[in-house]
A = this chain, B = another copy of it.
Amino acid sequence: MTQEQRRPTLVDVAHAAGVSRALVSIVMRGAPGASESTRQRVLEAAGELGYRPDARARLLRSNRTRLLGLTFSTSQPFHSEIVDAVYAQASAKGYDVALSAVGRGRAEERAVESLLDAGSEALILIASTLNENDLGRYAHQVPVVSLLRNDVGDHVDSVSCDDAAGIRLAIEHLTSLGHRRIIHVDGGTAVSADQRRAAFRAEMIGHGLEPLTLSGGPSEEDGLAAGQRLLALNPSAVIAFNDRTALGVMESLRSAGRNVPTDVSVVGYDDSQFARLSYIQLTSISQDAQLLAAAAVNRAVDRIENRQPLGHDVSTPHLVRRATTAAAPVSRA
């Protein structure tokens, strides 16, 4: 049972193929310097022995791991989508991904250090809450790319989606439907919440509308709580901090007997899997996980390989119209 047998090494393969260690090494990493015939012979021997290069020895010597470190939060479904997309893009670029979760009882510092220990050549941090000092310290060791947050100082790359543009899209969509009394249920202290709140205020004022804001947060419960304070403000539309917040707001509206979208329109943010559920059909601002992930991986890899200079990508979100927004009710428009 579970006969722990030593895994084969370069030496074993070399012996089996009748060549030197160095040649096997050359063949295994596809480097030039071996004839086609021996290359075949070596690969065959390796295959037969089930040889797989030892990552730690390899990187100890070469200082290359082809590993991208990625942190994410277990409680944000949108992060999960990014994780999937990062895997795909990294794999396309020939990199592997080391994952580390940030959650209750596991601080981001801890997550990051475990990624560094694993030998990550760059870090991609999703919605990091580290301060500039800490970021700078890590950036001192490897390239760091901040994803979904762009106020990160001068030592860290960032890839984010234009929050102001997203809020603007939402407001334009709603005003074009005749809404004028629009409320923003904000993200409280969450990453990006400040930007979206500020953008909402500026844009509403630009439209000559009152920038009504309720403090919320990134979860359903936050939306639910805000929803209970919502009706007193008599809104015809709500822009929520994210999809989860929107779900909470909608539930609150529903339990108060208001219909979405005939009484109140709701716009979410993230276009996460929730928004797409057939019975929710939430109109939402899409940040396109695929695109963001690809940009982050590309930045990380560019920094690692080409010594590309540090920079900040800002992509433009778009609005996905579904079933939770409609023309403003005549009485309130």
Contact = CB atoms under 8 A, between A and B. Distances in A.
Interface in A205-244: 220-221, 224
Interface string A285-324: 0000000000000000000000000100000000000000
A75 B83 CA distance: 11
Interface of A, secondary structure class, is mixed
A101 interface: yes
A162 B97 CA distance: 34
Of A2, A220, A224, most buried by chain B (CB within 10 Å of CB) is: A2
A29 interface: no
A118 B99 CA distance: 11
A147 B143 CA distance: 36
A305 to B, nearest CB: 14
B60 A56 contact: yes
Nearest to A113: B52
A277 B57 contact: no
A154 interface: yes
B80 A98 contact: no
A169 interface: no
Q: How large is the interface on A (under 10, 10 to 19, 20 to 34, 35 or more residues)?
A: 35 or more
Interface in A84-132: 84, 87-88, 91, 96-101, 103-106, 113-114, 116-119
A154 B60 contact: no
Nearest to A81: B74
Contacts of A101: 80, 83-84, 87, 99
Given A1-B310, A55-B117, 15 more contacts: A2-B143, A2-B155, A2-B310, A4-B141, A5-B140, A52-B117, A55-B118, A56-B56, A56-B57, A56-B59, A56-B119, A74-B83, A75-B80, A80-B103, A87-B101
12 contacts: A7-B141, A56-B56, A56-B59, A57-B60, A75-B80, A75-B273, A77-B77, A83-B103, A84-B104, A87-B103, A118-B118, A220-B277
Closest 6 CB pairs of A and B: A74-B80, A56-B56, A99-B99, A251-B279, A55-B117, A84-B103
